[in-house]
Amino acid sequence: MIHINSFAWNANGKNKAMLAPEIYSFFKDDYNGERQNWDVSSSSSGATYFANTLGLLRYDGENWSLYKTSNILRAVYCSNDTIYVGGNGLMGYFLEKELHKGFQALTKIENDIWKIFRLNELIIFQSFDKIYHVNSEGLVGIERFKNGNTTFTYPIGEKIIYQISYGKLMATTPNGNERVICDTPEIGKFLVKYISQLSADTFLIGTLKNGLFTLSNNKLTPFNTPINDFIKTNKLNKIIRIDNDNYAFATMNGGVIIGDLSGQIIYVLNRSNGLSNNRVHAIYKHQDRFLWIATDNGVSLIDLKNPVLFFNNQFIELGAFYDIAMLNDTYYVGTNQGLYKITPFKNQTSVFEIELIKGSEGQVWNIDVIGNTLWIGHNNGTYLLDGAQLKQVSKVAGGYTMLQSQFDPDIVYQTSYFGVAVYKKTNKRWQLHYSITDIDELTRDVVELRDGSLIISGAANTLFHIWPDNENRKYTVKNLSLLPQMRNTNWVRAFDINGQVLITSNDTSFYYGADESSYACPKAFNKASYISEVINNHVFVRHNKQLTLYNLKTDTIVPLAYNLNNIEDDLIFKYERITQPINGQIMLCLSDRIAYTNLNKLKTAQINSVTPSITDIQCSNDRTGQEGTFRADEAIPYKYNTLQFTFTAFRYGLKSSYEYMLEGYNDSWQSRKDNRAVFQNLREGTYTFKVREKDGSLINSLAICIAPPPLRSKLAYAAYAVLLIILSIVLRYTFHQTHKKKAYLRLQKERKRLNDLRILKSRQQLGEEVKQLQEEVSSKSNKLANLLLQNNKKKEIIDKINGELKHIRENHRFVDGRQIDRLSKMIKVNFDEKKDWLVFEAAFSEAHTHFFQKLRTKHPNLTDLDLKLCAYLKVNLSSKELAPILKITTRSVDLKKYRLKKKLNLSKDQSLKQYIMDFDD
């Protein structure tokens, strides 16, 4: 019995490893679901769906999405754009274009759905005790298993085949009768996990613990193959057919084994070479090349058509791989853990036994087969493999490159930690002949020129040309680092390209001849950090983190469907090794495994061109971070004018590079290594987003429209038009009103001017009148004053006459007294002081209207005598002039004026005369 899944060290110190496609595994942290995945299916769009414990998982080769359900999903089946799902109390579907709307129930159930498939026009949901069939109109029918429960049902032709658990095989049809197709007692001992039809009367039966059988004429015949032994050991769970000859067998404990029914094992996939878990719940073939494996802890994917396979065992610490060679149909691998012998396991093509060669523990730098002898450059010295034993040939450590001389096959040159070692074969035995010690540093590359001289590269930027004299153990060394083209080098390498010596460095590359001449090399070699040995006129070239295949015959880089950059990063920097151990095989030594391919398979591998799908469009506000909702048939609001496009080519394990453009924004293709393109703060308008695979011809296009901001919308422009019309009307009205107002103001101004002229003229006229009046008043005042003075003079004269008359009467005896009395009476009648005052008052009031009334109103405490005094003062009579009128002394007049001033409440500084003169003016 073969225990392929057992990788513990055996007593003989051997272990096993597999050669298989690269396994890409995804775990709960990758897809944000739960560990268990129960089923897998893919839709016509190219996306893959998984029935996860938390709900429906979607993967498009770039991004994962989880659509949660209320309970565990156990089954998923894609039909066009509908994803049917079933699980614990769940039976329904998701619409692929409306996944965000979530799970849609078809009917309410109490049991679990474990399998979904199509039978003609019906979708079948299967639980342990019944099947539900759903027609194209969504009507649900139910069929209960009459004879017991089952595990899984299988559509074969028009029928559904199943086993009554640990019982007979049955066939049924929806709305039909059940019939027995196998009731042999032997089948009741097994739990059937798989049924398919091999021919008209022969079925392939897979059982949980008892392996594979053929069923024909009610007779079971077991398989006797290594694959069957594997299945029986690890418990079968699922089987799918890969192609006409091969099947994938999923087990409960041992992962997946791929092979044919004759027992030939193609691949073994388990945790040791990258499978997410050995307990497999479902397997599914996708796009005719990918194999999905749903396990108890994550999901895994392999590319069945990948031209590159990998040799490894993750449970064995083999270390980093530095070199590989083949001798006598046995592979030898040098790692930093030692030298390993690798042999096919019992004639299998993908399973190998690994054995560590005792005494080789430590760093192995180089392995070469020279003269049917295996040379090993080790950290501790240089060894030869003699049978199964290592034999040290020298203590030269760090052997990096070994070269057998073309001119003398008995000479071998070896670069090392220190200088160059020269070995010579004498009496059929190899031994150290001498060392070239003038190069007192680590050496790496050694290439022999056509004249037998050597080119040696140092560890850094040194390069030497050596002319050895092996017969006399002498040599001549020239330091080529002093060449003009080498002055600015930081590192340098030397390679043999079909007998030509190629020198490459960080800033130059050229061919170097035996005559010390240099000449141009192909551009593909420029600044190459590594060039492999020539393999059928091809070399692998590494530079700038890129690995390409170059055809020396056609002088071109070979376009490959498989991207060599998938493995370029795993090459060990400065210790790259890509070699052809035997014709037709190419081995690439990587940091933790070995990649295997052949030139023809690598060059002819096909990857169909596809049109990338645009899987998501997000619109957001770049300033606030607020997100909007994109709808294909609606314009995007301007406030969400930052767009992110997500796209995929559904390449899955194959790396994709993309190019995109946004017509209306830019008109050139932009390269993109990831699957997102972001455009920030787009202006309003119509754009067309285009995406394709890098250098591809199939383009996906999507037209989008950014609505204008509210201030630039059609409604806004309509409002602007209305406002413009209103504004023009308002402006016109305002202009008209302004014009009228200006005309009115001009008219008013003219009227005011004319009025001012009239007023001015009136004022002038009035001024003249006032002046005239003032002159008249002044004249009248003067006249009044003069009148008073004249009256006073007259009074004085009359008083003198009265005095004289009185004197005459008293002193003259002969005077008639009656005549004198008559004269006195006549004088008294014609000269009355009261009458004189009334005359004066009348004349004064005519000159100074309302003077007395106003003065009495303002100063009610004034007496008539005070008013009389004010009138006298108004006509500008002085105290001296007033004294005779008032018949008092001048001092008495001043006293009266003083008393009047007090009555008028004038301050000390105020002039009484001036106050009276100004009053009522």
CA distance linking residue 530 with residue 574, whole number of Å:
8
Instruction: Tell me the mean pLDDT in the region 383-404.
Output: 93
Give the pLDDT band (50/70/90) at residue 1. Answer: very low
- Asked if the model's pLDDT at residue 784 lies above 70, the reply is no
The b/e string for 508-539 (b: 16+ C-beta within 10 A; e otherwise) is bbbbbeeeeebeebbebbbebbbbbeebeebb
Cβ neighbours of residue 178 closer than 8 Å, sequence gap 6 or more: 145, 146, 147, 170, 171, 172
Q: What is the widest separation between alpha-carbon atoms in the chain? A: 216
Question: Measured between alpha carbons, how far is residue 856 from residues 550, 870, 920 in Å?
Answer: 134, 11, 12
Give the pLDDT band (50/70/90) at residue 8. Answer: very low
**What pLDDT, on a 0 to 100 scale, did the predictor assign at position 4?**
30
The sheet with strand 115-119 has its strands ordered as 115-119, 122-126, 130-134, 140-144
Pairing mode, strands 256-260 and 265-269: antiparallel
Q: Note whether 213 and 205 are within 8 A (CB).
A: yes
Q: How far is CA 644 from the centre of its chain?
A: 8
**What pLDDT, on a 0 to 100 scale, did the predictor assign at position 782?**
61
**What pLDDT, on a 0 to 100 scale, did the predictor assign at position 739?**
81
At 294, which helix (H) or strand (E)? Answer: strand 290-295
Q: Note whether 23 and 319 are within 8 A (CB).
A: no
- Asked if the model's pLDDT at residue 769 lies above 70, the reply is no
Question: Measured between alpha carbons, how far is residue 32 from residues 67, 169, 298, 674 in Å?
Answer: 10, 40, 11, 20
The 10s digit of each residue's pLDDT in 576-634 is 999 998 888 999 999 988 999 999 999 998 877 889 999 999 999 988 889 988 888 89
Give the pLDDT band (50/70/90) at residue 774. Answer: low
The 10s digit of each residue's pLDDT in 409-436 is 999 999 999 999 999 999 999 999 999 9
Q: Hey, what are 892's tokens?
A: 């008495």
**What pLDDT, on a 0 to 100 scale, did the predictor assign at position 812?**
64
Give the pLDDT band (50/70/90) at residue 780. Answer: low
The 10s digit of each residue's pLDDT in 256-289 is 999 999 988 899 999 988 999 999 999 999 988 9
- Mean pLDDT, the chain, rounded, equals 87
- Asked if the model's pLDDT at residue 74 lies above 50, the reply is yes
Supply the pTM of this predicted model.
0.75
- Between 760 and 77, where is the model more confident? 77
Angle between helices 890-903 and 879-886 (to 10 degrees): 100
* Segments in 235-300 forming alpha helices (H): none
Q: Note whether 350 and 343 are within 8 A (CB).
A: no
Between 203-217, 218-232, 652-666, the lowest mean confidence (pLDDT) is in: 652-666
**What pLDDT, on a 0 to 100 scale, did the predictor assign at position 777?**
56
The 10s digit of each residue's pLDDT in 810-824 is 766 556 666 666 766
Cβ neighbours of residue 524 closer than 8 Å, sequence gap 6 or more: 541, 548, 550, 557
**What pLDDT, on a 0 to 100 scale, did the predictor assign at position 296?**
97
Give the pLDDT band (50/70/90) at residue 766. Answer: low
State the sign of the Cα–Cα–Cα–Cα dihedral 838, 839, 842, 845: negative
Give the pLDDT band (50/70/90) at residue 794. Answer: low
**What pLDDT, on a 0 to 100 scale, did the predictor assign at position 5?**
31
Instruction: Tell me the mean pLDDT in the region 840-850.
Output: 75
**What pLDDT, on a 0 to 100 scale, did the predictor assign at position 606?**
83
Percent of the chain with pLDDT over 70: 91
**What pLDDT, on a 0 to 100 scale, did the predictor assign at position 365?**
96
**What pLDDT, on a 0 to 100 scale, did the predictor assign at position 103?**
97
**What pLDDT, on a 0 to 100 scale, did the predictor assign at position 141?**
93
CA distance linking residue 600 with residue 363, whole number of Å:
33
**What pLDDT, on a 0 to 100 scale, did the predictor assign at position 11?**
33
The 10s digit of each residue's pLDDT in 434-457 is 999 999 899 999 999 999 999 999
